[in-house]
Structure 1
C-alpha cells in the first residue's frame, strides 16, 4: 500500500490524479450492492465502479444495454451508502447521454443528486466530447471509456480485442486526447493492446484504468464476481481469480442443508 491509499481520508478525483503523478497504481473493482461494497471498501480498494455490468451480473441479461437510469441509481445509492474511503463511480447507461448534450447533463446531475457517488463514467471518444465537457462544467466529474465499449457491442459484433489495427489505434489515441481536453479525470481502457494503452497513459493528464490493457496503465479494474471466482464459464485472458467464492458459498450452503435436514440446526444454544 502506498502513501496515498494508507491515508484514511476519503479518496477523491484529486487523489486519483495524485496517485498517477506519484506512480502509485489504482485498484478498482465493480460493486452493485451495499454488502459487497462495504467489504471492498474495508479491504482497501481505491475505487468502486457501479458498472452497467449490473445488467449482466445482477439481472442476468446478455449485455449491458437493457439497464436503465433508475436501475443504476438504485445500485449506486446502495454502494455509496457503504463506502467511507474509496471513490465511487457510476456508469451512465446506454441511452442516457447519446440523444443530446442537454439530456446527458440532466441525467448526470440526477445520478449525482440521487446516489451520492463521486463521479460518472461514459463510453465514447471525440463524438461525446462536447457532452463530457458540458457535464464537467456542470460540476460532475467524468471518467471516459475507450477500446471495447460494451454499450456499442452490436456495432462491434463481438467482445474481441479493439484497436489492434493501425487506423483504429490512431483513432483511439485521438479519442483519448479529446476526452482529456474535455476534462475527464480518468479513462478506462478495455481490451486494447498493452503498447497502445501505455502510450495513452504517457500522453494524457487523466489517470488510465485498464481492463485487458496490459500492466502499464495507472490502475486496473475487474468485475468483482469475475475476480473472486463467482462467475462460472467466463475466463478471458486478462482475468485472474483472486479467490474461489463460488466454491466457498457452495460448501456453506451444502453444510446448511445437511444441518437442517439432519435436525442439527438450530441446536439448543441457538434457540430461545
Structure 2
C-alpha cells in the first residue's frame, strides 16, 4: 500500500511540517474517503484520517467506536486519493495505551498497511513513553492535548480545558512531555484561547488548533463540519464554509420528483437500439 517513489517525492513530510513552526500557518483538514482526499489535496498541507470517522461516517456516538481496522481502511482510501499532503492516521482508543510495545506494534501496522506519513495519538504525560517508543521505531508522531475525545466518557463530556490553574499547569506538563518524547507537532483541542496561545509560544514544535487559538501554528477542522454536511451536533468552534446538507437534500428532492413523474431518465440517459455496438457507459 505504500506510495511509489514518485508519490513519496511529492509529499509533504512530517519533518517539513515540523519546520513550519512560527511560519505560514499549516492548513489541515480531516479526510476519510478517496474522493474527498482528491478534492482537498491541492489546498491543504496535512490530511488527518481522524478517529472522528467513527462518528461522522459510521454513526457512533463517540470516537470510541473506531477500530484499528477501520482506521487502516480509511487511511488506505485517503492515501489513494492524495498525492501531496502529509497524511496522518489516528491511533484509535485501545490500540496504544497499554504499553509502548503495543503502541509500536499498532503504529507499525498502520504505516505498513496504509503508507501514511505519521500517526497521531491522544494524551501528554500519560502516553509520553508510547510516543517516544513509536518515534524510536522510525515513525513520526503527532500529539494531541487539551480536550481528548477518546476520554470523553471518563471526563464526563466534552469539557473545555484551561479553566483552572491546576488544569493549565497540567496542559503545560502535557505539552512538554509530548515535545520531549519526540512528536513533530501537537493538536490542541477545546482549550481556552489565551492558554492555547501561551502553549504555542512555550513549545518548539508546531501546534495545530481546533477550538483553540488563531495563534496556533496551524488549524484543523472536521471536513464534514466545515462544509456543512454534519447532520448531528456541530461544535461551537466550527465555521461552516458551505451548506452541503441543503445541496444534497435539494438534489435528492429533485431526483425523487423526476423519478415519480417519469421525467428521469430522459433521452440523454438511456441507450437507443440503433447505436454503436462498441459504446460504453462513459459519457460522450
TM-score for both structures, normalised by structure 2? 0.89
1:72-221 correspondence runs (5 A): 72-221=71-220
Query: Offset at 1:267?
Result: 1.6
Equivalent position of 2:6 in the other structure: none
- In the alignment, is the contact (CA less than 8 A) between 1:226 and 1:234 conserved in 2? no
Deviations 1:185-220 (A, max 9, x none): 110000111111111111212110011002110111
**Where does the alignment leave 5 or more consecutive residues of structure 2 unmatched?**
1-8, 272-284
Query: Offset at 1:154?
Result: 1.5
Distance change >3 Å, CA 53–CA 235, structure 1 → 2? closer
User: Greater CA deviation, 147-156 or 11-20?
Assistant: 11-20
User: Would you say 1:13 and 2:19 are equivalent positions?
Assistant: no
Greater Rg by CA: 2
- Paired residue total: 263
Equivalent position of 1:4 in the other structure: none
SS of structure 1 residue aligned to 2:248 = helix
Query: Offset at 1:179?
Result: 0.7
Query: Offset at 1:271?
Result: 1.6
Distance of 1:269 and 1:258 partners within structure 2: 18
**Where does the alignment leave 5 or more consecutive residues of structure 1 unmatched?**
1-7
Distance change >3 Å, CA 137–CA 179, structure 1 → 2? same
Query: Offset at 1:233?
Result: 4.6
Deviations 1:207-250 (A, max 9, x none): 10011002110111111111111113523321111000111111
Detail structure 1 runs of 4+ shifted over 4 Å in the superposition.
Answer: none
Distance of 1:151 and 1:237 partners within structure 2: 19
SS of structure 2 residue aligned to 1:48 = strand
**What do you get for the CA RMSD once the two structures are aligned?**
1.3
Query: Offset at 1:86?
Result: 0.8
User: Greater CA deviation, 260-269 or 161-170?
Assistant: 260-269
Query: Offset at 1:87?
Result: 0.9
- In the alignment, is the contact (CA less than 8 A) between 2:55 and 2:65 conserved in 1? no
Distance of 1:125 and 1:118 partners within structure 2: 21
Equivalent position of 2:230 in the other structure: 231
Equivalent position of 1:67 in the other structure: 66
TM-score for both structures, normalised by structure 1? 0.93
Query: Offset at 1:66?
Result: 2.2
Equivalent position of 2:274 in the other structure: none
- In the alignment, is the contact (CA less than 8 A) between 2:55 and 2:63 conserved in 1? yes
User: Would you say 1:36 and 2:32 are equivalent positions?
Assistant: no
- In the alignment, is the contact (CA less than 8 A) between 2:226 and 2:240 conserved in 1? yes
